[in-house]
Copies of this chain bind each other. A is one copy, B any other.
Amino acid sequence: LPITAAAIAASVQGVVDGDAETSVDAVAPLDRAGAHELSVFAHVRYASWYRGTAAGVVVTSPTLVHAHGAHGGARVLVDRPVDAMLRVLALFARGERRPSSVHREARVSESATLGANVVIEAGAVIGEHVVLADGVWVGANAVVGAETRIGADSRIFALATIYPQVEIGARVQVHSGARVGREGFGFVPQAGGVSRVPHVGRCVLGDDVEIGANSCIDRGSIDDTVIGAGTKIDNLVHVAHNTRIGRLCFIAAQVGIAGSTRIEDGVQLGGQVGISGHLTIGAHATLAAQAGVFGDVPTGQTWSGYPARPHKEQLKAQGALFRLARLLRPLERLVANTETGDARAGDAAGDNAG
């Protein structure tokens, strides 16, 4: 850095419109970018910001420039400006400084085993017989319970909790406030109330898993809870006991998955989706945001709504509802007229009573 418009264009197979030697050293949105900053204009929604921007370079599309003209700086033209922008961001990311060692105010059990280059920040608590592989980074005030094992180069952010006896793979990211391995919500009746079901199952996060901030992954009771390699989970998600999630799934914020459900590889769950217990969501299925799922979903299908159904059926039904609602009174009259003059009227009333 700095980097020229020409170099940015080359890295995304784009074309420069304006001074190809304009250089930038940071990224900012259109409304606050200055002459040395790169920005993106990807949707007509932001046209007024674009026209007033002071950005040195803007990544945008030929179509948008055709419609909205040039701004004061240079443009890099590509067909899909957001995708292009995401690819160049890495050039501008400011690295976070990684501490070099175990902080003297970290509280590490003497029976814990630490690999090379392990970082433990101030206030973190590492329990008995914990094993941290090479390169593990535990953030400030995080708590790692007894006998948990964490694989190489994984990072546990500040204030996250790993309960005892959890198994975490390599390159896993557990964000701040996530709770991994809690005994799940299971009770059995007994005299005078209920008692907790002991949780003897495991809680396993595969390699390259990411758990978002304040998400909760319960451990298994009679089965294991398993999150497959490469699966990414956003913030405030609940995964109940005995749930098995496959590889390379994407689970958006505030999703809730009840106990003993199986989610196969490559599934995508939109925000606030809820899935009942003991179901199977087939590989590469997609559930739209807020779907409420009470039955198995077949492989590869997209479902939505409450109760969830195939998305096309759901859309058709919702559209039909609003058209039918407009016909409500005429339809009621039609039925009334037909039934009155009809030998089957009693029969229909019987239907309605059922």
Contacts and interface: CB of A to CB of B under 8 A. Distances in A.
Given A177-B177, A214-B214, A317 B325 contact: yes
Interface stretch (A7-15, A68-76, A269-277): A269-277
Interface string A17-31: 000000000111100
Contacts of A96: 146, 164
A29 B225 CA distance: 10
A278 to B, nearest CB: 7
Contacts of A90: 198
Interface string A303-322: 00111010001001111111
Interface in A331-345: 331-335, 338-339, 344
Protomer copies: 3
A105 B290 CA distance: 45
A220 to B, nearest CB: 7
Contacts of A223: 29
A224 B327 contact: no
A66 interface: no
Interface footprint category on A = 35 or more
A176 B87 CA distance: 36
Interface string A200-243: 11000000100011101010111110000010101110101000
A28 B223 CA distance: 6
Given A145-B158, A161-B176, A185-B253, 10 more contacts: A29-B222, A93-B199, A96-B146, A121-B125, A182-B212, A185-B235, A216-B235, A254-B274, A256-B271, A330-B351
